[in-house]
Structure 1
Amino acid sequence: MKNAFLVSVLLALFLFTMSAPAFASNSVYGVWLTEEGTATVRIVDCGDASPCGVIETAEIPSGEPTTDVNNSDPDLRDKPIIGLVMLHGFERDDDKWKKGRIYNPEDGKSYKSSIRVDDDPNVLKVKGCIAFLCQTQRWTRVETPATLTE
């Protein structure tokens, strides 16, 4: 009886381990290089199984401000660009996350957004919209998280 239970547990762990990489490769969670190649964004679960993205690295030219100087809220202009939450508020819809917001520190504005992993699991499609005008960027996966909450 004990041996049967042990074999069942080991088999379940083996199957979970074998299926985890495929699951991870289709996840929005991880670290992504922006289309311009000038920043990386770490997307994690920020509660209620909703992803949010934090700027992890950014190429800021020498002499340029390293804080969010363009933010429309004067109280937030002293916040560093690194660590800024730029993606948040998404709701899951099948393989897509929608009804979120994307913040652009270059102009200090926030836009409607949706994100989803492309057919290539190493590409994240990030869409930002003003009314009905939308622009989509393709971000490249840099790192997949070891544990997922998706």
Structure 2
Amino acid sequence: MFGLGVEARIGFSAAIRDESRLKAAEADMTICGRAMSLVQLTMVCWLGVAGLAMAQTDALQPTSPIEGVWRAQLLSEVTIQVCELGYCGFLTTIVVPSEGLSPEEAAAASTMSPDDFFDYRNEDPTLRNRPMQDLHMLTLRPGDKPTIFDGEIYNPQDGKTYSGYVELTGPDTMRLNGCVLYNVICRGEDWVRVPQAELDARLEAQPQQ
């Protein structure tokens, strides 16, 4: 057999060691690169999840102080929320005031459910059979000030729609103004926000299905 000389064997062994070191170094670099990539990917994923969580949190928060459930002077409640028209207000709680009612009428009203009330005073005869529950009463758009919202107000007491505006007078108070004669004459009513704790208590009190 042909064998290698001593110098050749030494040089070959050194080459093998150098190649092994090179491969080991490349492996270390690969592992390090993968580790760095994993760290970067983890950071990207974490930032993505954090961003999504922040976006979801922001989505749960009202985008405008006008949003929420508001109680009118006669204790009925209107829920204002974002809609395609801007902000829409819906009659979500109906309370029949006892003032002006006979004892018999008051007793009858106390036994009526929300489904028993209809928009019978509407100027449009074709709308007089629509239910009062969840009736669309307000259509509002941001005005020239952050606390002003202009729009239209439907008054079911006389069945007419008025131009008007809502002014936020505090974090939990507003003044609703319906106007006639090109906004020369306006009539106002103060509303208060229904506390979130009260809304949560109502939700908890509802029977579980």
Q: Normalised by the shorter chain, which TM-score bucket? A: 0.7 to 0.9
What RMSD in Å do the two structures reach over aligned CA positions? 3.0
Match of 1:76 among 114, 118, 127: 127
- 3-state SS, counterpart of residue 42 of structure 1: strand
What is the TM-score with the length of structure 1 in the denominator?
0.74
The total of aligned residue pairs comes to 138
Distance 2:82 2:62 in 1: 14
Give the Å deviation of 1:92: 1.4
Which position in structure 1 is the counterpart of 2:14? none
Q: TM-score, normalised by structure 2?
A: 0.55
**1:116 to 1:97, Cα distance in 2 relative to 1, 3 A:** same
Q: Indicate if the aligned counterparts of 2:74 and 2:95 stay in contact, CA closer than 8 A.
A: no
Distance 1:29 1:10, change over 3 A: same
1:116 and 2:167 are equivalent in the alignment? yes
Pair 1:142 & 2:194 matched: yes
Q: After the TM superposition, which residues 4-83 of structure 1 pair with which residues of structure 2 at under 5 Å, given as runs?
A: 5=44, 24=62, 27-37=65-75, 39-48=76-85, 50-60=86-96, 61=106, 63=108, 66-83=117-134
Q: Which has the higher contact order (CA 8 A, sep 6+)?
A: 1
Asked whether the 8 Å contact 1:71–1:107 carries over to 2, the reply is: yes
Could you tell me how far apart the structure 2 residues matched to 1:45 and 1:9 are?
Answer: 27
Deviation at 1:81, TM superposition (A): 1.2
- Asked if the contact 1:25–1:122 (Cα under 8 Å) also holds between the matched residues in 2, the reply is no
1:87-108 CA-to-partner distances (Å, cap 9, x unmatched) read 01x321231211x111111111
- For 1:54, give the aligned amino acid: F
When residues 7 and 117 of structure 1 are mapped into structure 2, their CA distance, relative to the original with a 3 A threshold, is farther
Q: Which has the larger radius of gyration?
A: 2
How far is 1:142 from its partner? 1.1
Matched residues, percent identical? Answer: 27
Q: List gaps (5 residues or longer) in structure 1.
A: 146-150
* Aligned mates of 1:9, 1:116 — CA distance in 2: 39
Q: What is the alpha-carbon distance in structure 1 between the residues aligned to residue 41 and residue 70 of structure 2?
A: 45
Q: Which has the higher helix share?
A: 2
